[in-house]
Amino acid sequence: MRGSQQFKYGMYQLADHFFGRKKFFKDRAKYYNDLVAELKKHGEGRIMPVERRKDLSLEEFKNHYVRKGIPVVMEGAAKDWACVQKWSLQYFKDLHGDDEIVLVDQAAKDFPYELTTLADVIDNIRSGGSKYYRFYPLLTRHPEHLEDFDYKWLRERRTNPVWFDAFQVFIGGEGSYTSLHNANQSNLFVQVYGEKKWVLYSNYYAPIIDPSPVRNVYRDAPAKVEAGPFNPFELKFEPPYELFRYMDGYSVHLKPGDVFWNPPFYWHAVKNVSDSIGVGYRWLSPFYSFKMSPLYMSLDCMATNPPIWKAYSLYRKDINELHLAEVKKLEEAKKKIAQQETVKKNEPGVPV
């Protein structure tokens, strides 16, 4: 698409962020008619596998893939790490099954949630259920697991300066899925157990994905039909997703021990092709993220739902609380947790 079309869409996103879509630029039919004509000139897009590299040097990783914002899989880079050697669903159930968690259904509208335990989620997964625990703050609760990673190796590959970093664990069963979204953090994703597939699109295609106005620090592809957002694992280009056929993308298939570099602001969807445990080592390097997308990083700095300072405080603690804050359910969840703790303390035989 032309640079002028990119610029004009950026103006739409800027107005949407501050005023919503009902205030300015409501009629965008001419813009999209012109965009369709431009896209047709270049033909349909294609999905290409992300490059897989063995023994990728730190220098080449930084100078080529990081500097240019190019995704890459470092094949088997973590195969000897303790997390890959030891972790499994049973391992977590045995060690941390009693962990009380807030399980947020991020695939549903308004983020319904339940208070449960890690053991219950794992039992559900192993019985073929659909529960998917995203963003488990494992190292916040159990910092001894830092020794299961080569933290020095991860830190050497960060971009600087770093506002914060975080380890987030994803535990899901075969077929569980996360729809298209993007965010401003850099991500070195370690596939620990099982296998996982990704599909990625450059933020260049934001005018096609056309995210709804948000005032938080990440974006989802909009659900334009009842079935949900466009699913890159089930390519259906019927309206209203007909323009998605013109996007080039990347495919990724991660196996245990693989480490995947996912740069900021890449749109991505993820599907577990088996029961799976993966760990996202994420960090926010604001200048690098600004380089990847000046518009979206600037808008993120002006987030109000919740304010950026609160968003990243919750992000470091448990990103599930951040999602609840966006839909005004965080205080409700905290009260329920406090009530549960009070009931436990009053149970016979429980030490106070």
Using one digit for the tens of pLDDT, what is the confidence trace for 46-94? 999 999 999 999 999 999 999 999 999 999 999 999 999 999 999 999 9
How far apart CA 8 and CA 207 sit, in angstroms, is 10
Backbone dihedral region for residue 257 (phi beyond 0: left; psi -120 to 50: alpha; all else: beta): left
How far apart CA 23 and CA 40 sit, in angstroms, is 31
Q: Per-residue confidence of the chain (352 residues) as pLDDT tens digits?
A: 899 999 999 999 999 888 888 778 888 999 999 999 999 999 999 999 999 999 999 999 999 999 999 999 999 999 999 999 999 999 999 999 999 988 888 776 777 788 899 999 999 999 999 899 999 989 889 999 999 999 999 999 999 999 889 999 999 999 999 999 999 999 999 999 999 999 999 999 999 999 988 777 788 999 999 888 999 999 999 999 999 999 999 999 999 999 999 999 999 999 999 999 999 999 999 999 999 999 999 999 888 877 777 777 777 777 776 666 666 677 787 787 777 777 666 766 655 4
Residues 6+ apart with CB under 8 A from 192: 78, 83, 84, 87, 256, 277, 278, 279
Q: Report pLDDT digits (tens) over 268-309.
A: 999 999 999 999 999 999 999 999 999 999 999 888 877 777
CATH number of the domain located at residue range(s) 44-346 in this protein? 2.60.120.650
Which residues in 184-274 belong to E strands, given as ranges? 186-193, 196-201, 218-220, 249-254, 259-262, 267-272
DSSP symbol at 142: -
How far apart CA 159 and CA 123 sit, in angstroms, is 38
Task: Using alpha carbons, select from 134, 305, 284, 103 the residue that is nearest to residue 219.
Answer: 305
Torsion over CA: 245, 271, 50, 287 (sign):
positive
- pTM attached to this predicted model: 0.91
* Dihedral (Cα; 291, 292, 295, 301), 10-degree rounding: -80
